[in-house]
Amino acid sequence: MTEHSSKAPLTRRYVLQSAAALLAHSALKPDVAQAAAKNTAVLYGQDTLPAGIRSRKVANNNGATLHILEAGYESPGRRCVVLLHGFPELAYTWRHQLLPLARAGFHAIAPDLRGYGQSAEQPVSLEDELIPYSLLNRLSDVLGLVRALGYEKVAAVVGHDWGAPTAQWCARVRPDVFQSVVSVSNPFLRAPTLPLNTADARNIPQQLDEIDKELAALPRPRKHYYSVHASPGANEDMWRAPQGVHDLLRALYHFKSADWQGNKPFPLKSWTASELARMPEYYIMDLNKGIAETLAAAMPAPAQIAACKWMTEKDLRVYSSEFSRTGFQGGLNYYRVGDDRRFSGELKLFAGRTIDVPACYIGGGSEWGVYQNPGAFEAMHTVCTRLLGAHLVKGAGHSVAEEQPEQVNALLLDFLRRV
């Protein structure tokens, strides 16, 4: 696997080399064959999760009881690896990583995060308190969970999609606990900035994000998915979709995967409407369409569904059953917090702070999330002072850990061996 020096900028040629040298090893194989007998030790996925993975509900001493999937729990004294899922996902997202990490000697822990799955006993309402979903409180959720499980230190925190910024901030804020970090799909991002030397400046302009106005003014009017997900009607649009939750999720996972032939990402030049509009509709949506309507147009054909081995109908049923029960508001609150200026000020306390523990980035070679924040991928070495690797995995889109689990497992275990 290719190493990267934090002193040199990342290049596309460099990261594309990383998928070429993966080693075949029994510990890497995703041991999730369709089990002949049900795994009664888990609360969902009983027909798909193999023996050796179990469920547990743990009070995290931060106001939440989190459901976890775990492996490697039999032997005390193991180092801990925490796996954080994104939206709309569950701990189940890491089903291919749990046993390989356990076989490598780790206690692997994947929680359903606050507002998701079995950690949500009832649907989250739009009227529910938003503060528990703030970024720093989500960090406290993770810290409280690992301490409740008896760990003062975590060998690695790994996050995908919305789990990625949570993992990044765990490492930034508590490097004494989270000793290394892996960001999957989302590049490492800088902490918010506080301007320097402005005491004598006059009329300092307020920087407001006008991107939605610019997108709406395009010849083909568009809107940014983030604003849509943060809007009051997003949960009802997804939860009560005419096609049903199951088909909505099928289309979403397919649309963002390497299976959809339109995913041929490239770096964007700038944060402008014309550049952002080059991304597919799941990121930059048509102005007059909601989430459900957008995804209905992306539904794969029956033959494509039957051929999809990384997301079988049984796998998808785990997701759709949980989200049909809980709705999507818990996960959508992560967008609402990010879009609410009331929650941005506390993060400015960490302005200029880098991530100084060993770090690794893994993305899909067919993943637009690598480039959705123009320049972020190339600038990761300025965010992380010890960036040991940046890898784009061929044959994978957004759901990289599910689409290409053996390659992801090889990268994770190689990184953990090195740190």
pLDDT of residue 20: 38
What is the pLDDT, as a whole number, of residue 202? Answer: 61
Q: What is the pLDDT of residues 313-355, one digit of tens each?
A: 999 999 999 999 999 999 999 999 988 888 888 898 999 999 9
Instruction: Provide the domain count of the chain.
Output: 2
3-state secondary structure the chain: CCCCCCCCCCCHHHHHHHHHHCCCCHHHCCCCCCCCCCCCCCCCCCCCCCCCCEEEEEECCCCCEEEEEEECCCCCCCEEEEEECCCCCCHHHHHHHHHHHHHCCEEEEEECCCCCHHHCCCCCCCCCCCHHHCHHHHHHHHHHHHHHCCCCCECEEEEECCHHHHHHHHHHHCCCCECCEEEECCCCCCCCCCCCCCCCCCCCCCCCCCHHHHHHCCCCCEEEHHHHHCCCCHHHHHHCCCCHHHHHHHHHHHHCCCCCCCCCCCCCCCCCHHHHCCCCCCCEEECCCCHHHHHHCCCCCHHHHHHCCCCCHHHHHHHHHHHHHHCCHHHHHHHHHHCCHHHCHHHHHHCCCCECCCEEEEEECCCHHHCCCCCCCCCHHHHECCEEEEEEECCCCCCHHHHCHHHHHHHHHHHHHHC
Are 161 and 31 contained in the same domain?
yes
Give the pLDDT of residue 7.
42
Shared-domain flag, residues 17 and 98: yes
In a domain, 94, yes or no: yes
Please indicate, yes or no, whether residues 117 and 186 belong to a single structural domain of this protein: yes
Are residues 351 and 303 part of one domain? no
Which of residues 301, 336, 371 is at a domain's end?
336
pLDDT 10s digits, 358-408: 999 999 999 999 999 999 999 999 999 999 999 999 999 999 999 999 999
Looking at the fold, whether 380 and 360 belong to one and the same domain comes out as yes
- Among 336, 370, 390, which residue terminates a domain? 336
Same domain, 285 and 154: no
* 366 shares a domain with 317: no
**Residues of the chain scoring pLDDT < 50:** 1-8, 12-25, 34-35, 205-208
Expressed as residue numbers, the domain containing 87 is 12-191+341-418
- pLDDT at residue 199, as a whole number: 83
In a domain, 121, yes or no: yes
Residue 87, domain CATH: 3.40.50.1820
In a domain, 355, yes or no: yes
pLDDT at 98: 98
Does one domain contain both 161 and 96? yes
100 and 58 inside one domain: yes
Question: Would you say residue 196 lies in a domain?
Answer: no
pLDDT at residue 36, rounded to an integer: 58
Domain boundary among 336, 362, 397: 336
Task: Mark whether 60 and 83 lie in a shared domain.
Answer: yes
Residue 170 shares a structural domain with residue 231? no
The pLDDT of residue 89 is 98
